[in-house]
Structure 1
Amino acid sequence: MSEYLAEAIFSGKYRPGSFVPKEVDLAEEFQINRSAVRSDLRQLVDAGIIERISGHGSKVRAFEEWNILDPQVTHWMTCYAAPNPEIQREILAFRLDVEPYVAMTAARRATARDLVAIEEAFDGMAQDMNAAENGMKRLHSDYDIAFHVAIFKATRNIVWSQLSHILRPSIYLLIEMSNENATDPEASLERHRILMEAIRTRQPQKAFLAAQAVLGGTADALGLEPGETILGSHFALPPSS
């Protein structure tokens, strides 16, 4: 039952502020007792997704209240959030705020091993796309996510490296959908190449802008507007050292 509710919430059927079905209705629909219903609802409460309101039922909380880095929540997000543009937009906004700075740091700190990992992921994307049959070219999502994770690791910062694992499901959600919807995968691959080269040639400012361009392509493929709160939109880049 918790999976049913998670799918309904993450897909947007039940939006923040709305109430999910009452315990008695859920027990009847799923043919389980109310203690089992409460146990399943508890999973969503612990994840920060719903709150129990005495005498009223269970209400979906605002997105910012969700424990978005909880492994269970990221699993639900990956499985069920694809139809929900609001969640996609929140993830995209976060990535636009963070990943250009990550790329800039990687351009300053990446080791030879980091550069190899980024290049191998890029080569995987290119080879898979060029091997596509019947003209159905698209970037391979597993290589694409490996490319971005490798850049996080190339910061040589243990927090960013760990975050790359925690954030992987939510990043994958956007990558998978954007690669399916992209009308010009060759152009997307070229944006990734420019980002890779900026990191390889130690050009932090170019890496910052290249990361923004990659994510701008993601936004276009998904038909999303990033919004006006993106830090990088009005940020003066620090001088390249």
Structure 2
Amino acid sequence: MADFLAEAIFSGRYHPGDFVPKEVDLCEQFVINRSAVRSDLRQLVDAGVIERISGHGSKVREYAEWNILDTQVTDWMTRYAAPNPGIQREILSFRLDVEPYVALTAAKRATARDLVAMEEAFEGMGQNLHGQGGRLHSDFDVAFHVAIFKATHNIVWAQLSHILRPSIYMLVAESNTSASDPEASLERHRQLMESIRARQPREAFLAAQAVLAGTAEALGIEPGDSALGRQLDLV
């Protein structure tokens, strides 16, 4: 039932401010008891997607209230959501403020094993760039970015990569589908990898910006207030 309501909300059948069906109606529709309905509604409440209003029912909350980095929420978004430019813009803006610094740190700390992980992901991206390999290309693309997070050898960044993985996948899959020049995108990823391999923190920072600028262009959205295009005095 939780998935049924999540699909209805994330696909846009219910909008922020709308009330979802009442408990008694959900009991009848799914032939389950009220306790089971409340348990499933609790999943959506805990995710920040709906709120319970005593005497009225359950209402969809504003997008800003959703726990969009919660793995359950991002899973629902990946499976059910129509492209939402507002949410995409927020995630991209966050990535633009974070990932260039992650790349900079990786350029200082990456080990040979980290570089192998990046290379394998990059090769997988290249091998599945065209044809029927779209899903695999996106999987390898996400693995490439996760490898960079892990190459910082900071346990917080490494754990954050797992939290962010569904959000990164959501942007990667959509931008890879709409990219006008996938070869150029692949080349930007190669330059990022080579900057980390050469231990060039400044170049890695700028290369990460370039990768994400390409994502913004493919999605056709302005990333908002972020580090994009900022000329920084990096050391």
TM-score normalized with structure 2 length: 0.88
1:239 and 2:231 are equivalent in the alignment? no
Provide, for residues 132-170 of structure 1, a one-character-per-residue CA deviation record: whole Å limited to 9, x for no partner.
Answer: 45xx78681111111101110111111111111121111
- Alignment partners' CA distance in 2, 1:141 and 1:148: 11
Secondary structure of 2:83's aligned partner: coil
Provide, for residues 89-116 of structure 1, a one-character-per-residue CA deviation record: whole Å limited to 9, x for no partner.
Answer: 2222221221111111111221122112
- Alignment partners' CA distance in 2, 1:9 and 1:203: 45
1:103 and 2:100 are equivalent in the alignment? no
- Alignment partners' CA distance in 2, 1:83 and 1:239: 35
The residue that corresponds to 1:165 in the other structure is: 162
- Alignment partners' CA distance in 1, 2:72 and 2:164: 12
| 1:46-125 correspondence to structure 2 within 5 Å | 46-125=46-125
TM-score normalized with structure 1 length: 0.86
Q: 1:44 to 1:182 in 2, by over 3 A?
A: same
Secondary structure of 1:16's aligned partner: coil
1:81·1:88 contact (CA, 8 Å) conserved in 2? no
| 1:1-241 correspondence to structure 2 within 5 Å | 1-129=1-129, 132=130, 140-227=137-224, 229-230=225-226, 232-233=227-228, 237-240=232-235
Residue identity opposite 1:87 in structure 2: I
Offset of 1:235 from its aligned partner?
5.1
Secondary structure of 2:128's aligned partner: helix
Q: 1:12 to 1:101 in 2, by over 3 A?
A: farther
- Alignment partners' CA distance in 1, 2:228 and 2:184: 22
Q: 1:87 to 1:8 in 2, by over 3 A?
A: farther
Residue identity opposite 2:35 in structure 1: S
Provide, for residues 157-190 of structure 1, a one-character-per-residue CA deviation record: whole Å limited to 9, x for no partner.
Answer: 1111111112111111111121122121111111
Offset of 1:206 from its aligned partner?
1.7
1:47·1:70 contact (CA, 8 Å) conserved in 2? yes
* Uncovered stretches (5+) of structure 1, i.e. residues with no partner: none
CA RMSD of aligned residues (A): 2.3
* Uncovered stretches (5+) of structure 2, i.e. residues with no partner: none
Percentage of pairs with the same residue: 75
Offset of 1:17 from its aligned partner?
3.1
- Alignment partners' CA distance in 1, 2:99 and 2:116: 19
